[in-house]
Structure 1
């Protein structure tokens, strides 16, 4: 019989809870330190690693303002955006997150400010272009950096970006779990900011 707690009009009964046997998990081998949950080693990157990285070299040739003379930079290439997205940012299979170090290197190189946004056209931008922008904005939120500053110079186009983002759900392309997660995170971030405006 359940115990009765309290007196008077507010008597509470404690109901029995079903109890199930719990089996102990088999012994899990120790992970290397860089993969332990809660450590920042896998989420950090050194200056030397950034300087030697393939993405830094691509940035220097295409959008980095400090690495090359503007006249020496290659013109905008939408195929480069697709290639970077597919080789560096796209998660193939499973529910793994986007590779954080790759996003961090692109953020350091100002990929959003110097390449994606200045060359964004709502009518012609590819799925990869829009998703790359979403990932870079999410990274700014993660790093607690002002995410919307670069959009001030083209406010009229920003409306087109938001419309394109909302229409991503209508496209024929099937999105992966990681893409859906990043899309949702972007929407949460965007609506939280707009609530304070």
Structure 2
């Protein structure tokens, strides 16, 4: 977890922070990027200790006319944007209704998940429960998708500011940012290229294991 200072102070034991990473063997994208923007995952974890915002729900409601967490049809302002949206409703009633309506979405298997990332220009990445920066951030960058995420100071623990794009938490600039990114390919490609080179250099699981072993060897000396 990123909050290592708190754990160090409460236990008087030094903690080290290892972020998630990605499996470099899985990502060698050759697919054409024919999806403008995408998201896949649970809309919001409602467990008591999850401490996760409803921003995924609000983004979905921004894109679609919805019913009980189920996207029914794209809104007029996004009619010309190709969106891949695979969200899991927050509660059982929503999941049951999505099944009845034939709009049931499921977790993607590994192969389909990688294919989707590789085919998508912009991927929505929001913070996971407890403010975690999930492997999907790294996987999106490795697939050549631009990471679009809500504003947070937590990213600076891992990434420089020029490898992702943020939007305001109230979504007041969300539509403008999406449209700008989709029409300004030069800007989009510049960010994607920097992110791609960064994650392959610093954020593979091989990097994480090597860093851990180095720390262990240093500690044992």
TM-score normalized by the length of structure 2 = 0.26
Higher helix proportion, which one?
1
Higher relative contact order (CA 8 A, sep 6+): 2
Greater Cα radius of gyration, structure 1 or 2: 1
Higher strand proportion, which one?
2
